[in-house]
Amino acid sequence: MYKSSEITHIHLEPTQRCQAACPMCDRTNNPHLKNAELTIESFSKILDIEFVKQLKSLIMCGNHGDPIVCTDTLKMFQYLRENNPKMYLHMTTNAGARNSKWWSELAKIMGKHGRVTFSVDGLEDTNHLYRVNVDWNKVENSMDAFTQAGGRGLWTFLIFEHNEHQVEEAERMAKLFGLEFVKKKSGRWVQTHKFEKISQKETKKGNLIKPPKNEKYQNQSVNQYEKVLESYGTFDRYLDSTDIFCKSLENKEIYISAEGLVFPCCWTAGKLYKAYHKIGQDQIWKFIDDVKNIDAHETPIRNIIDGNFFKTIENSWYIPTCSQGKAEVCAQKCGKGFDAFGDQWR
């Protein structure tokens, strides 16, 4: 059961804004987003000093935006560091913005208790193919300025057909920057809203993004998708029957959106604004009796975590089928028999 007194980790999306147009991102071509963004004033009210002191970590990432384009990102990290000097601070970014001074300041704030994940999917001639609109010169400058200032980080490389030949070269380059290197195998080749595999994705600029050909760079859950269908008949039947092991509950983590809405995780929050659904169409809306009750601008964060919304989602895990009320998104992301997210890192 979720208890506000036990929460030690926060996943924060400070902004819905981003300069990129990645083809597999929920932000791209999404008519529902309003570029919401938290300010330092709203952030410090949502996470008061007492709550900050109980935390072990906070990661800025999210569903739609990139933390580096948020106006008050540095102020938010500084607020956390001042009120909890030992907490672990983390940020995930495409690295394609901000100047050297900004990155140096971030490195100083984070110190030894933090790091940055640079999501860079290729080299100068390929990174922009998936990370549409991201400038390579800015990416290099960001990684260089941050690490030169003593920042700790890692380079996460999402592998596709067009960049799989560069994995080893990118790993060598990461070492020159003093960054760890992580190979990432996307699970998004299974589209859960249609329950089907896709073989390519077109970008806004007309480039076709395809899965890697080398099997060692492929996501194993994606490759085993057909076996799931063979075992259960349909993916819907798998979702109905799978036991749910909640990753966020296990990690004592919650998610806060750029609108200040509080959810168990980014996946439940991400269902609010899918480009392929009208607002209110997705099942997640049925768990929300009133948006004000999960809006930390309106309701104290502890009351939200201990309130009806979190309990309703958790209770749904034991309902027999998704059509009867079992949380479909929870079965998709935390079902025990299919974990495309976990297999990104294996």
The pLDDT tens digits of the residues spanning 139-169 come to 999 999 999 999 999 999 999 999 999 999 9
Same domain, 219 and 263: no
The pTM of the full predicted model, rounded to 2 decimals, is 0.96
Query: 336 and 245 in contact (C-beta within 8 Å)?
Result: yes
- CA count, 13 A, side-chain hemisphere, 333: 17
Residues 176 and 224 both lie in one domain: no
Q: Are residues 279 and 306 in the same domain?
A: yes
Which of 108, 107, 131 has its CA nearest to residue 119?
131
Domain range enclosing 10: 4-182+246-322
Q: Count structural domains, the chain.
A: 2
CA atoms within 13 A on the CB side of 98: 25
Q: How much of the chain, in percent, has pLDDT values that exceed 90?
A: 94
- 254 and 232, same domain (yes or no): no
Residue 12 has pLDDT above 80, yes or no: yes
222 shares a domain with 148: no
pLDDT tens-digit readout, 177-235: 999 999 999 999 987 666 788 999 999 999 999 999 999 999 999 999 999 999 999 99
CATH number at residue 106: 3.20.20.70
250 and 278 in a single domain? The answer is: yes
